[in-house]
């Protein structure tokens, strides 16, 4: 990696981190190019050079959420994929769900929910939200197929609804902030999918 590439990568990272902080504080609308430049300490010309528009900044933030989930999936799934007994199959599904649930990083959960919510009123975010939902369903369906769960398409939809609901619970004030309770809800659902 050249010094120029390393500098560019570091600047993009600072910009995306600034987007996360701004979205957490004030929603998607808070992350204007100008405010992102101020928050990141990178001049607005460079922010425009790297991302060009508010929409592309939000896409970069969503891609970062996806990349984090992908890293967690990569770390979690190989450790659980070897066992074929019911307990091992439940562990596989739980590991996948925990990897896509951004409960360990509340900022990540907020950014995710804010982007999905913004898509309702802002058509420029709809393809992004749709892709995020499609990717989530695909990961869950593949995991359920690997765990030999009957009717994986329908069960992936049910699990998507549960994961989505738990994610919203983390973000909104009326939601539960008890991580262990949410983990138990998830475990019980998975136990129903894969009985002894």
Question: Domain holding 32: CATH number?
Answer: 1.10.10
Residues 82 and 120 occupy one common structural domain: yes
Do residue 85 and residue 180 come from a single domain?
A: yes
pTM value? 0.82
Residues 30 and 93 in one domain: no
- For residue range 64-118, what is the model confidence (pLDDT) as tens digits? 888 888 888 878 776 655 578 999 999 999 999 988 887 667 888 889 889 888 8
Domain count, the chain: 2
Domain that holds residue 1: 1-52
Please check whether residues 27 and 61 belong to one and the same domain.
Answer: no
Name residues whose C-beta falls within 8 Å of residue 117's C-beta, 6 or more positions apart in sequence. none
23-59 per-position pLDDT tens digit = 999 998 899 999 999 999 999 999 999 998 888 888 8
Angle at 151 between CA 148 and CA 154, to 5 degrees: 125
- Residue that finishes a domain, picked among 10, 30, 52: 52
């Amino acid at each position: 990696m050249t010094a120029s590439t390393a500098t560019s990568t570091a600047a993009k990272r600072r910009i995306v981190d600034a987007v996360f902080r701004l979205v957490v504080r004030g929603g998607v609308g808070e992350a204007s190019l100008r405010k992102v430049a101020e928050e990141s300490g990178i001049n607005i010309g460079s922010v425009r050079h790297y991302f060009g528009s508010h929409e592309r900044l939000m896409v970069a933030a969503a891609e970062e959420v996806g990349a984090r989930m992908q890293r967690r999936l990569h770390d979690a799934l190989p450790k659980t994929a070897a066992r074929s007994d019911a307990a091992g199959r439940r562990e596989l599904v739980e590991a996948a769900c925990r990897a896509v649930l951004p409960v360990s990083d509340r900022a990540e959960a907020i950014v995710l929910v804010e982007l999905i919510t913004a898509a309702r009123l802002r058509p420029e975010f709809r393809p992004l939200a749709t892709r995020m939902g499609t990717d989530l369903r695909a990961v869950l369906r593949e995991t359920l197929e690997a765990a030999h769960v009957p009717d994986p398409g329908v069960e992936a939809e049910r699990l998507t609804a549960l994961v989505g609901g738990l994610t919203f619970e983390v973000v909104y004030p009326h939601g539960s902030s008890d991580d262990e309770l949410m983990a138990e809800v998830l475990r019980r659902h998975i136990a129903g999918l894969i009985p002894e």
